[in-house]
Chains A and B, each alone.
Chain A
Amino acid sequence: MPQTDQVPHRFSKHGFSLEKAIRFFFASNAGLTIVILLLIIAFLLKEGLGFFPGYRRELQVYRIAGLEFVDLSRSNLSAHEQLASVLNRAYFAEINGLCTRELKRSQEAAALFNAFSDRSSATRELLVSNLGAGAEAHPDLLATLRKNHAASIHQALAALPATPHLTSAERADLLQSIATRDVTATDDPPLVASLAQQYAAAQQQQSVPLARLRETIDAFEAAGADLSVLVSDMTATVTATKEAIQNADILNKGRASLLAAAGHAKDPATRERLLTDARRSLAANPDIDAPMQALMLHKPVCCAAHTALRQACATILEQLPPTLSQPEAQRLLRAARSATGPFLANLANTPQRISEWRHDQPVPLSAAIGSFLTGKDWVTGGEWQDFYGILPLLVGSLMISLVALCLAIPAGVGAAIYINQFASLMEQAIVKPVIEFIQAVPSVVLGFIGILVFGSVLRDISQLDALAWVPGFPIEERLNIFTAGCLLALMSIPTIFSLAEDALNNVPAAYAEASDALGASRLQTSFRVIIPAAFSGILAAVLLGLGRVIGETMVVLLVAGNRIKIPDFSSGIGAFLQPSHTLTGIIAQELGEVPLGSVHYQALFVVGILLFAIVLGINATAHQFISRPRN
């Protein structure tokens, strides 16, 4: 049958059709995922990229206003203060160590009394307020209040802390005196007071042979006075300059936006008004040269102060006793000694840095980027100077992840091996749903448990005398890297478990059969054939678990302790028991409080970009392992 162009074959379709529209609809929904991903990247970059120029300007202001100059001296001053504090702690550790018995007795008696007062204070205050002069309380009311108070005293006496260092006679005496105490009495019970006196006397007695150490420390502290005065003088000057520059920046910005608005305005009257406003806000460029010159005059004084301080410190530190008798004091003394070298070296080279410092040295963009990536300080909202250094956050995130993985890998992979290779069907039916259930527990609930239960339990455990040998014990903060790591481990176990179990399950049954036929025992089959064959899958499981851990927010926000500081590694593994902050936590904590578009706001988006890149990199690596052909 001849075909003409005008009459299409009945099987062919042209132009618009419903089918095509439906297909297009579904395709566009699939494309939505790409759009979302691109939007995420685009908006993170849009909000974040302005950070580096903005931060550069802040660093520039930091320099031209002279804050950087002051910080040269200020850093030495704070190092000096720290060193003095360590020495003081060593001194008191020595004294307290020498009169431990008196200290403990005094502390226990006071603790007992405080516990009693806490528990009975509510009823007592109520009673006292009705007894006071002018209070015309009804006798019945007073009787009720007295009865209530007596009951609460009775309750409080029933649950008081132990006092191992008091004799039972002393304890009985103390209990007697607090039970029969007048409700209006405010002074301490006699035993508490006398024990405190005994302690003070013992301290006094022990400090006599240490008088020389005391003098040395006092001399050391006094040596910093000159520099301290100098720094606080300069601080006032440079802060004023900085404020002037910042105000000018704000005015300039406002003027620029007024001018831009004027350019777009169609109505001549409006334009005129905007231009007038802009002219009025024309900022007088702040005078930075005069204060800077004044500041530069300080240069020789500063140098001199540093040299003097260095000489004073060097001689004073030589007079420290070689050893102290108490272990804690000895540890602190050693810490002070080891800090002395760098401190003196810094003091020595500061004069040169001071004289070389120039306020008009440019701040390149790379300096801002470098300061972000390698900065050890994340200081925001301070009066002095904001710094956006990612290191404390990154280190915190990595340390928490390390703890979490150290716990979750053995647990998750071990459980996967057990369930896949050795468990009975019955065991599988119990364990698998439980682990699946852990996965469903929202992270905020885990954080809640961490903050209200786990942290305190951990602290109580760490205070056991039997565990005193563990580095970092007893812990100072109940919310720390380790606490957060434990909870994150619990969170990532389901991920690691189920993916590792899948990987083990996907190993062809023929491998196990062949291995058995070759005379392998069950254990040999598992560990020599199946687990190696599933290895890349297990590795992927671990990596995906790591991605989940690094990206987790609520647990670390609640439980990590939120102290923005690189943990002190000098205490070795105890560094893991210090609080920390994280990449995710800082965003969650600060985004709600920063002004839109500020450098701080942008910094949080850059942290988001970094987080995005890290997690995506980890996941991409994991998927490489999953998709890699098995050989």
Chain B
Amino acid sequence: MVTDLTNQAAAPPAAIQIANLSFAYHAKPALRDITLDLPTHQITALIGTSGSGKSTLLRCCNRINERIAGAHITAGSIHIHGIDINRPDIDLQELRRRVGMVFQKYNPFPKSIFENVVFSLRLSGVRKRSELDEAAERALHAAALWGEVKDRLDTSALGLSGGQQQRLCIARAIASQPDILLMDEPCAALDPIATLKIEELLHQLKQQFTIIIATHNMAQATRCADHTAFLYLGKLIEFAPTIQLFNTPHHPQTLAYVTGSFG
């Protein structure tokens, strides 16, 4: 743990740069003036009470928030690898393929396991069976699911257990080889054992992906994340290496939250 601290001192370049971001649903502000640099190939946890804006922040990074009528950025910008993702000429589909997302409630499609995994490849027009097979195997390996499902790739994904379904969703998200993975409370709907498996998986995935995980489970943040950001009522209160944030928070609100005095 202590060695981790020294590593973080020389933080790698930021994958996502959020600058003065404000966001609102209709007239109701959800994020206020957030500035945050999320480091490459590390896990960053977003914590906070419900309604603190952690999900909203996450969903801004692949612009999935735009699905909601009236949701819009009021100020600021998000750059991914130096590209402003809110430029009008951004290829939204390409952006979402580069920035994968896993949702709170696992949501595989009512298709076979195989079709779920190769969904994004089929979208981009890949037809060759060998290519699809290879990508599926790679993604399922990466999601630590290959061993469990390799014999029943053609059965319905809805027949898997909850934890398996969530890992399938992870496999589905990483099949198009994104380099950022957004996870919106990925373990909220899972039992402790399945949660543990996912957390183990996160450590492996870190090698390839920049991971941002929103969670209300502080223990999970301490177990997984390299960095943690604490949000409260749409504002970024504190952003620091995880150990620092939990052990020696600068801000009294952070202290109150991590010690369980509120929220």
**Chains A and B touch each other in the complex, with CB atoms below 8 Å apart:** yes
Contact A518:B172 (CB < 8 A) given known A513-B67, A524-B123, A528-B122: yes
> How distant is the Cα of A576 from the Cα of B77 in the complex, in angstroms?
63
Cβ–Cβ contact A514 & B169, under 8 A: yes
A36 within 8 A of B: no
Residues of chain A lying within 8 A (CB to CB) of residue B123:
518-521, 524, 528
Chain B, interface size category, equals: 20 to 34
Contacts A510-B103, A528-B122, A631-B156: A517 and B109 contacting too (C-beta < 8 A)? no
Tell me the smallest distance from the CB of B173 to a CB of chain A, in Å: 7
A629: nearest chain-B partner, CB-CB: B158
A234: CB under 8 A from chain B? no
A492 to B100, CA, bound (A): 43
Contact yes or no, A517 B93, CB < 8 A: no
1/0 contact string of B73-111 vs chain A (CB within 8 Å): 000000000000000000011111100110101011111
Bound together, the chains give a CA A356 to CA B105 distance in angstroms of 79
Cα distance, A528 to B92, chains bound together (Å): 18
Query: Chain B contacts of A532 at CB under 8 A?
Result: 110-111
For B156, what are the chain A residues with a Cβ–Cβ distance below 8 Å? Answer: 631
Bound-state Cα–Cα, A611 to B158, Å? 39
Decide yes or no whether A516 CB sits under 8 A from chain B. Answer: yes
Task: Name the B residues within 8 Å of A508 (CB-CB).
Answer: 107
Instruction: Report yes or no: B62 in contact with A515, Cβ–Cβ below 8 A.
Output: no
Least CB distance, A510 to chain B, in whole angstroms: 4
Asked if B70 is at the interface (CB within 8 A of a chain A CB), the reply is no
Instruction: Tell me the complex Cα distance, A529–B172, Å.
Output: 14
Are B67 and A516 within 8 A (Cβ)?
A: yes
Q: How far is the CA of A517 from the CA of B169 in the complex (A)?
A: 11
A514 near B120: Cβ-Cβ < 8 Å: no
- Is there a chain B Cβ closer than 8 Å to A533's Cβ? yes
Contact B120 A518, beta carbon cutoff 8 Å = yes
> Chain B residues with Cβ under 8 A from A516's Cβ?
64, 67, 96
Structural contact, A520 and B93, CB atoms closer than 8 A: yes
Contact with A along B172-203 (1 / 0, CB 8 A): 11001000000000000000000000000000
B109:A533 contact, CB within 8 angstroms: yes
Instruction: Pick the contact of B62: A512, A517, A528 (CB < 8 A).
Output: A517
Contact, CB under 8 Å: A514 / B103: yes
Q: Cβ of B108: which chain A residues have Cβ within 8 Å of it? A: 514
Supposing A513-B64, A519-B97, A521-B93 touch, asked if A533 and B119 sit within 8 A by C-beta, the answer is: no
Q: How far is the CB of A424 from chain B (nearest CB, A)?
A: 11
B173 pairs with A518, CB closer than 8 A = yes
How far apart sit A582 and B103, CA to CA, in the bound complex (Å)?
55
Task: Choose one: B96, B105, B110; the contact of A518 (CB below 8 Å).
Answer: B96
Interface pair A631/B62, CB less than 8 Å apart: no
Give the distance in Å from the alpha carbon of A198 to the alpha carbon of B35 in the complex: 99
Q: Give the contacting residue for B103; candidates A513, A521, A524, A631; CB below 8 A.
A: A513
Q: Determine if B93 and A510 form an interchain contact, defined as CB atoms under 8 angstroms apart.
A: no
Give the CA-CA distance A463 to B2 in the complex, in Å: 92
Kindly provide the distance from the CB of B253 to the nearest chain A CB, expressed in whole angstroms: 31
Flag if B96 contacts A517 (CB, 8 Å).
yes
Across the interface, do A517 and B105 meet the contact criterion of CB distance under 8 Å?
no
User: What is the minimal beta-carbon distance from B70 to any residue of chain A, in angstroms?
Assistant: 13
Determine if A24 is an interface residue (Cβ-Cβ < 8 Å). Answer: no
Total contacts A-B at CB 8 Å:
70
CA distance A522 to B243 in the complex (A): 42
B159: interface (CB < 8 Å): yes
**Could you tell me the distance between the alpha carbons of A513 and B67 in the complex, rounded to whole angstroms?**
8
- How far is it, in angstroms, between the C-alpha of A532 and the C-alpha of B123 when the chains are bound? 15
Whether B176 lies near A518 (C-beta < 8 A) is yes
Q: How far is the CA of A289 from the CA of B139 in the complex (A)?
A: 89
- Report yes or no: A513 in contact with B107, Cβ–Cβ below 8 A: yes
Chain B, 119-135, contact with A by CB distance < 8 Å: what is the 0/1 string?
11011100000000000
The B-contacting residues of A in range 487-525, CB under 8 angstroms, are: 508, 510-521, 524
* Interface-central residue, A513, A517, A529, A630, by most chain B CB under 10 Å: A517
Bound: A630/B156 CA distance, A: 10
Q: Complex Cα distance A512/B67, Å?
A: 10
Q: How far is the CA of A508 from the CA of B105 in the complex (A)?
A: 12
- Which interface residue of A513, A514, A516, A631 has the most chain B CB atoms within 10 A? A514
Candidates B96, B105, B110; contact of A631 at CB < 8 Å: B110
Chain A min CB distance to B172 (Å): 7
In the bound complex, residues from chain B placing their C-beta under 8 Å from that of A529 are: 109
Given contacts A514-B169, A529-B109, contact A519 B94 (CB under 8 A): yes
The answer to whether A630 and B158 touch (CB under 8 A), given A515-B119, A518-B120, A519-B176, is yes
> How far apart sit A511 and B103, CA to CA, in the bound complex (Å)?
11
- In the complex, what's the smallest C-beta–C-beta distance from B142 to chain A, in angstroms? 16
Q: A524-B123, A528-B123, A631-B158 are in contact. Are A517 and B110 (CB under 8 A)?
A: no
Cβ of A513: which chain B residues have Cβ within 8 Å of it? 64, 67, 103, 107
- Chain A, residues 306-326, CB within 8 Å of chain B (1/0): the string is 000000000000000000000
How far apart are the CA atoms of A516 and B96 in the complex, in Å?
Answer: 8
Bound complex: CA of A533 vs CA of B100, how far in Å? 22
Contact of B93 among A511, A519, A630 (CB under 8 A): A519
Q: How far is the CA of A177 from the CA of B65 in the complex (A)?
A: 83
Q: Which residues in A have their C-beta under 8 angstroms from that of B172?
A: 514, 518
- Roughly how many angstroms separate A533 CA and B110 CA in the complex, as a whole number? 6
Cα–Cα distance between A515 and B62 once the two chains are bound (Å): 13
Please indicate which of the listed interface residues A513, A516, A518, A529 has the most CB atoms of chain B within 10 Å of its own CB.
A518
The reply to whether B109 and A514 contact each other, CB–CB distance below 8 Å, is yes
Are the C-beta atoms of B158 and A517 separated by less than 8 Å? no
How far is B119's CA from A223's CA once the two chains are assembled, in angstroms? 75
- Bound complex: CA A532 to CA B122 (Å): 15
Contacts of B159 in A (CB 8 A): 631
Inter-chain CA distance A520–B101, complex, in Å, is 13
Q: Which residue of A lies closest to B66 (CB)?
A: A516
A79 to B: closest C-beta gap in Å: 58
Give Cα A521 to B122, complex, Å.
Answer: 12
| A630 and B107 contacting across the interface, CB-CB below 8 Å | no
Cβ contacts A568-589/B at 8 Å (1 or 0 each): 0000000000000000000000
Alpha-carbon distance between A386 and B174 when the two chains are bound, in angstroms = 73
Which of chain B's residues have a CB closer than 8 A to the CB of A518?
Answer: 96-97, 100, 119-120, 123, 172-173, 176
CA distance A312 to B79 in the complex (A): 96
Q: How far is the CB of A25 from chain B (nearest CB, A)?
A: 44
Instruction: Note all chain A residues with C-beta closer than 8 A to B124.
Output: 519
Min Cβ gap A246→B in Å is 65
- The winner among B67, B107, B110 for most chain A CB atoms within 10 A is B110
A528 to B103, CA, bound (A): 20
Interchain CB contact under 8 A, B94 and A630: no
Q: How far is A514 from B124 in the complex, measured between Cα atoms in Å? A: 16
Q: How far is the CA of A524 from the CA of B103 in the complex (A)?
A: 20
A516 and B92 CA atoms in complex are apart in Å by: 10
> Would you give the 0/1 interface string for A80-113, flagging 1 where the beta carbon is closer than 8 Å to chain B?
0000000000000000000000000000000000
- Chain B residues near A519: list those with CB within 8 A: 92-97, 120, 123-124, 176
14 contacts between A and B (CB under 8 A): A510-B105, A512-B67, A513-B67, A513-B103, A515-B109, A518-B123, A519-B120, A519-B124, A520-B119, A520-B123, A521-B93, A631-B110, A631-B156, A631-B158
In the complex, given contacts A528-B122, A533-B109, what are 15 additional A-B residue pairs having Cβ atoms less than 8 angstroms apart?
A508-B107, A513-B67, A513-B107, A514-B107, A514-B108, A517-B173, A518-B119, A518-B120, A519-B120, A520-B93, A520-B119, A529-B109, A533-B110, A630-B158, A631-B156
Which 10 residue pairs spanning A and B have beta carbons closest together? A519-B97, A510-B107, A519-B96, A517-B101, A519-B93, A631-B156, A518-B120, A631-B158, A514-B107, A533-B110
Q: A residues within 8 Å of B by Cβ?
A: 508, 510-521, 524, 528-529, 532-533, 630-631
